[in-house]
Amino acid sequence: MSVIELGDSIPSLTSHAVSMSLPTWADNVGYEEGDKQIWDKLTTGYPRFFIHKSIDAFADAIIARYGNPNQKAMLFPSTTSAQRCRDFIKAKGEPSLTGDVEVVDMVLHIEEETSEIIAKISPSISAVIYHSDLFPVAKQYWQHSGDGISSRRAEFCHSLFSDGKLVAAALPQPVMNQKKGPKRYQRASIDNTPSLLDNKVSPKRNSNAAEIQESTQFLEERFGRNLDISLINNAKVSLRRRIAGPLTDEVNLAAVKPSSPEKTSSSHGVTPDDVYLYPCGMNAIFNTHRMLLQSRGQRKSISFGFPYVDTLKILQKFGPGCIFYGHGSSEDLDDLEARLQAGERYLALFCEFPGNPLLNTPDLKRIRKLAEAYDFAVVVDDTIGTSINVHVLPYADIVVSSLTKIFSGDCNVMGGSAILNPQGRYYNSLKKAYEADHEGNNNYWAEDIIFMERNSRDFIKRIKKINHTAEAICDLLKSHPLVKDVYYPKYNPSTKQFYDDCRTPDGGYGGLISFVFHKKEHAIAFYDRIETAKGPSLGTNFTLTSPYVLLAHYWELDWAGEFGVPPDLLRVSVGVEDTEELVSRFVVALKAAEAVGY
């Protein structure tokens, strides 16, 4: 395969890509250390860590109109999410700078005859305007919560803003002469310019060649038909049905009836009404924590197992805090049980199944028994295991997942979900909280929904292929003398049984593999040589390699090491490539490591 150049999007020429290329070990170090030569080449990045340039451009335009040169803006899809960011900045920021933090709500100002068309996609923006020195604090909220707007929403709303159709609610609104909504969502505009949903893209200020190519190719080649804006609601319904119960490869969106009674359910009683969609996986976790606090009161939580970085930050920074069991071991559960027996009480236990990056699996059976005995909720993130390979809902009150990963696969759209267990003891109170959270449930942008629905139609087929190839890669790595350890659910003797307890009859062990060489020099040589995409994220349809610990924990490597996480660990997210061809690439990269010497 051809090498993706440093800083290019992954996939290449994709305006809304979820990853970016860091093709050498040194590039990853430079990225973490803020090397200007590296950062200047980045066209995009993982959206919660790298604010998309289209979002930055829109924020700058809002500041130019409503702020001053000493201010910046952070953009959100609703007033409520923006207010949460404002409150976070005021609580965490330097007091001398937080007095002027404000929220500016941008509302649609178009004539009544077009309001019904545009209302379907809710093109609202709320900007948190703050002193520029507070950016690191505002960025924390953006990264941890996942509340921020998507790049597609930014492009569309920036166009409205530039045309005077999106204005600050509290300021005088200009008189509009235009009688139609934005061309991007018209079936036929007054000047006969085709819209995006007519399989073509009309000119707009923020478009570029890659954006036009991506949208046009996606809609023409993958949909193969025109799409009406009304199908966005149908796509949302289809997604919820796919997550809840029987997954199907093909869906005729025009035939979906969102208003029909929900009869589709899985064998465990979940209906699509129990599935909630969010703009990204971390936002699903963030809102799940919020809903638990609202429904069960202000209690500390439990973070069990070495976590994805922002899950722990959410539990630590929002609410009363948490206790952290970084090993996720039986001994940790012994300690937790002793605390519970001594009278300590908790809101919920959060864990991943399996964990990232060591692929350890928590003992959900024992956790469930403790939860029943001592009254705490269980939240399981099955992003890595996937609902095809593992069935964790019987042990959980809420199952959260990042749809951005293998559910989508195409690495060009974000999304997240939360599933409530109808058999759970907190189901009724949680259901009320989720249903009352209208803004949280409606912040997923229309175009992102369309892309996610289409990407996920072949979810099952991809998972089965990836399971097979991942085991072949594992076998190769385990047999090589330079490789010290391979981390994979199937090969972890201490936690494999816990995984198998939840494995579905036809389920495999997933597509994520981590491994460590005996020497750092071997890891560097292997990484620099391996012919795969190289960058952050996982669950892509193409194989993606990353020195994960460097990227996720560069400034806390010693802390990660306390929990057995090696600093030179390599993580591979296996894709759908031909198994033999992919194995041969790994053989070549291993030979590069051998050339360093034993």
My answer on whether 438 and 463 are in the same domain is no
Question: Is residue 541 assigned to a domain?
Answer: yes
Find the mean pLDDT for residues 74-89. Answer: 97
Question: Is residue 575 assigned to a domain?
Answer: yes
Is residue 189 classed as helix, strand or coil in its secondary structure?
A: coil
- Last residue in a domain, options 410, 436, 456: 456
My answer on whether 354 and 500 are in the same domain is no
Tokens 């190839």 found at: 469
My answer on whether 276 and 392 are in the same domain is yes
My answer on whether 305 and 422 are in the same domain is yes
- H runs (alpha helix) in 6-134: 25-32, 36-39, 53-66, 79-92, 112-119
pTM value surpassing 0.85: yes
Question: Is residue 391 assigned to a domain?
Answer: yes
* CATH code: domain of residue 564: 3.90.1150.10
Q: What DSSP assignment string belongs to 63-89?
A: HHHHS-TTEEEEEESSHHHHHHHHHHH
Query: Which pLDDT does position 110 carry in this prediction?
Result: 64
Query: Which pLDDT does position 111 carry in this prediction?
Result: 56
Contact 585, 592 (CB under 8 A): no
Find the mean pLDDT for residues 396-425. Answer: 97
Is residue 254 classed as helix, strand or coil in its secondary structure?
A: helix
- Last residue in a domain, options 119, 140, 168: 168
My answer on whether 513 and 499 are in the same domain is yes
Find the mean pLDDT for residues 227-231. Answer: 61
Residue 30, both tokens:
């430079």
My answer on whether 85 and 162 are in the same domain is yes
My answer on whether 239 and 370 are in the same domain is yes
Tokens 């093909």 found at: 250
The answer to whether the bond into 536 is cis (omega within 30° of 0) is no
My answer on whether 561 and 573 are in the same domain is yes
Strand partners, 142: none
Question: Is residue 175 assigned to a domain?
Answer: no
Q: What percent of the chain has pLDDT over 90?
A: 79
Question: Is residue 28 assigned to a domain?
Answer: no
Within 8 A by CB and 6+ apart from 578, the residues are: none
Question: Is residue 30 assigned to a domain?
Answer: no
My answer on whether 468 and 587 are in the same domain is yes
Phi, psi at 518, each rounded to 5°? -70, -30
My answer on whether 475 and 561 are in the same domain is yes
pLDDT digit string, tens, across residues 160-201 = 999 998 999 875 444 333 334 444 444 333 223 223 333 333
- Residue 11 parent element (H or E): none
pLDDT digit string, tens, across residues 300-340 = 999 999 988 899 999 999 999 999 999 999 999 999 999 99
My answer on whether 418 and 542 are in the same domain is no
Q: Please provide the average confidence, as pLDDT, over all residues in the chain.
A: 87
pLDDT digit string, tens, across residues 579-592 = 999 999 999 999 99
* Distance from C-alpha of 362 to C-alpha of 330, rounded to nearest angstrom: 9
* CATH code: domain of residue 275: 3.40.640.10
Question: Is residue 215 assigned to a domain?
Answer: no
Please tell me the total count of domains within the chain.
3
pLDDT reading at 209 higher than 70: no
**Which residue range is the domain that position 68 belongs to?**
46-168
* Distance from C-alpha of 510 to C-alpha of 532, rounded to nearest angstrom: 18
pLDDT digit string, tens, across residues 438-451 = 776 789 999 999 99
My answer on whether 410 and 464 are in the same domain is no
Question: Is residue 188 assigned to a domain?
Answer: no
Q: What's the CA angle centered on 271, arms 153 and 145, to 5 degrees?
A: 35
Strand partners, 551: none
